[in-house]
A and B are shown apart, each in its own frame.
Chain A
Amino acid sequence: MERPAAGASYQRFPRVRIRELRDEYAKFELRDTDASMANALRRVMIAEVPTVAIDLVEIESNSSVLTDEFIAHRLGLIPLTSSAAMSAMRFSRDCDACDGDGSCEYCSIEFHLAARATDSGQTLEVTAMDLRSTDPKVCPVDQADAAGDSRGILIVKLRCGQELRLRAIARKGIGKDHAKWSPAATVTFMYEPDICINEELMETLTLEEKQSWVESSPTKVFDIDPVTQQVTVVDPEAYTYDDEVIKKAEAMGKPGLVEINAKEDSFVFTVETTGAITAYELIMNAITVLRQKLDAIRLQDDDGDLGELDAHLVGG
């Protein structure tokens, strides 16, 4: 077999089309690449894009019904605005400017919370709104929300006389370490389906048969044109690869009525974030992180006598 010389490039040029883009939500099409790349991006978005989350809690006083560790865990899960996490901040394990006590400007942000219920009539709800940050860039996402109609995430409810006072330190981390650092609420992709109706065979069906076939799909993928009475594909992406219409066609004695294949190089992504970073930032950061990972696995010059070895291998 004729083989090309080594060193040729087999790079792909993916195409993107954004369908929807809001602060915390994005839907886009990704084409001309394969499932491994789509899945790598999904995995990186979920587990390897850094954010900031509360990691260390020092409880000064807690007379609430929840235990200290319960509250510490709840604090950790509160999404904090994390635009600074990607490049401006350091991981505290890599930070040489501090000893991890939380007073370091490069790797940690201190929070304070003090609440005491004094009204005997009703319980006091302590929420993320009560957290006081020492850095205006990093705060609970509800506080940063310009609309300001949110009541904040509930941490604990206090009865009259109960008190909660604490100091918390937020750090940079990734979802692989603990899910509280994951910026992703959901990241999914689906293969775009390629639906091909056999028109000739379809015309052998009566209107009632067409109707019952169209209705056999659990999601609304097909419809009947009221004028021409032809079956049309209204929403290919509603198809969930359930094979119901194919089974129905077989049951009707019309196998091959429709052919549905997944396009192997086209994907529809849905990205939702917790609000820690925007969906667009999440996508861009995921690409950057994946490139950094690839860069880290390059062979170094000191990995044995590679040059010599290569020459030997090629010659052999």
Chain B
Amino acid sequence: MNAPDRYERFVVPEGTKKVSFEKDTKIMNAASFTIEREDHTIGNILRMQLHRDPNVLFAGYKLPHPLQYKIIVRIHTASQSSPTQAYTQAINDLDKELENLKQAFEDEKTRFERMKQGY
């Protein structure tokens, strides 16, 4: 009767921001990003991509509770960079990687089908 709608798990409620950002008050170049309605799928690739950036001193994510459909990504960078910059760069790099992967798949399918036909 009072069960929440199933789509609440992945639809951002009206009036809520998908990404919000809070700067750490005590540490320079440290911030937490709260991403609404996301889970390990995004959290883990983002974290691993941030680890590739040598300016990132710390990057981690947590899913605070299985019934709170959000993740918190914490980023701490060196003074050359900033958390927002590292965050944006990580997303750009992942997006380009996937664009590349898509092209690689299309090319590979063409190659595979040609090979099967015995060219």
22 A-B pairs (CB sep. < 8 Å)? A3-B80, A9-B89, A9-B96, A10-B52, A10-B89, A12-B97, A21-B112, A37-B45, A37-B48, A174-B10, A177-B10, A284-B105, A287-B98, A291-B98, A303-B20, A309-B82, A309-B84, A310-B85, A313-B23, A313-B28, A313-B84, A314-B80
B68 CB-CB contact with A under 8 Å? no
Interface mask (B12-30 → A, CB under 8 Å = 1, otherwise 0): 0000011111010000110
Q: Within the complex, which residue of A6, A28, A34, A296 is in contact with B86, where a contact is CB–CB below 8 Å?
A: A6
Which of A17, A283, A313 has the largest number of chain B CB atoms within 10 A?
Answer: A313
Instruction: A296 to B92: give the CA distance in the assembly, Å.
Output: 12
Q: Within the complex, which residue of B41, B82, B91 is in contact with A44, where a contact is CB–CB below 8 Å?
A: B41
What is the size, in residues, of chain B's interface with A at 8 Å between Cβ atoms? 60
Interface contact B82-A314, CB-CB below 8 Å: yes
A280 CB-CB contact with B under 8 Å? yes
Q: Within the complex, which residue of B23, B41, B77, B88 is in contact with A293, where a contact is CB–CB below 8 Å?
A: B41
Q: What are the 9 closest A-B residue pairs judged by CB atoms, nearest first?
A: A6-B81, A36-B48, A10-B52, A313-B82, A11-B93, A18-B112, A36-B44, A43-B41, A16-B104
Interface contact A93-B99, CB-CB below 8 Å: no
What is the size, in residues, of chain A's interface with B at 8 Å between Cβ atoms? 55
A201 CB-CB contact with B under 8 Å? no
A1-39 residues with Cβ-Cβ distance < 8 A to B are 3-18, 21, 28, 33-34, 36-37, 39
Return A200 CB to nearest CB of chain B, in Å: 38
Task: Give 15 new A-B contacts, CB below 8 A, not counting A290-B98, A294-B42, A300-B17.
Answer: A14-B104, A18-B109, A18-B112, A21-B112, A21-B113, A37-B45, A93-B7, A93-B11, A297-B35, A299-B84, A313-B28, A313-B82, A313-B83, A314-B85, A316-B79
Q: Which residues of A contact B (CB under 8 A)?
A: 3-18, 21, 28, 33-34, 36-37, 39-40, 43-44, 48, 93, 174, 176-178, 280, 283-284, 287-288, 290-291, 293-300, 303-304, 306, 309-310, 313-314, 316
Q: Which residues of A contact B93 (CB under 8 A)?
A: 9-12
Instruction: A313 to B85: give the CA distance in the assembly, Å.
Output: 10
Interface contact A4-B97, CB-CB below 8 Å: no
Return B72 CB to nearest CB of chain A, in Å: 13
Interface contact B42-A40, CB-CB below 8 Å: yes
- The residue in chain B whose Cβ has the minimal distance to the Cβ of A12 is B97
Interface contact B102-A287, CB-CB below 8 Å: yes
- The residue in chain B whose Cβ has the minimal distance to the Cβ of A28 is B108
Q: Within the complex, which residue of A11, A283, A303, A313 is in contact with B105, where a contact is CB–CB below 8 Å?
A: A283
Interface contact B108-A6, CB-CB below 8 Å: no
- The residue in chain A whose Cβ has the minimal distance to the Cβ of B21 is A303
Interface contact A294-B102, CB-CB below 8 Å: no
Q: Which residues of B contact A303 (CB under 8 A)?
A: 17, 19-21
Interface contact B87-A39, CB-CB below 8 Å: no
Interface contact B42-A36, CB-CB below 8 Å: no
Q: Which residues of B contact A290 (CB under 8 A)?
A: 41, 98
- The residue in chain B whose Cβ has the minimal distance to the Cβ of A30 is B101
Q: Within the complex, which residue of A21, A37, A177 is in contact with B97, where a contact is CB–CB below 8 Å?
A: A37
Return B112 CB to nearest CB of chain A, in Å: 4
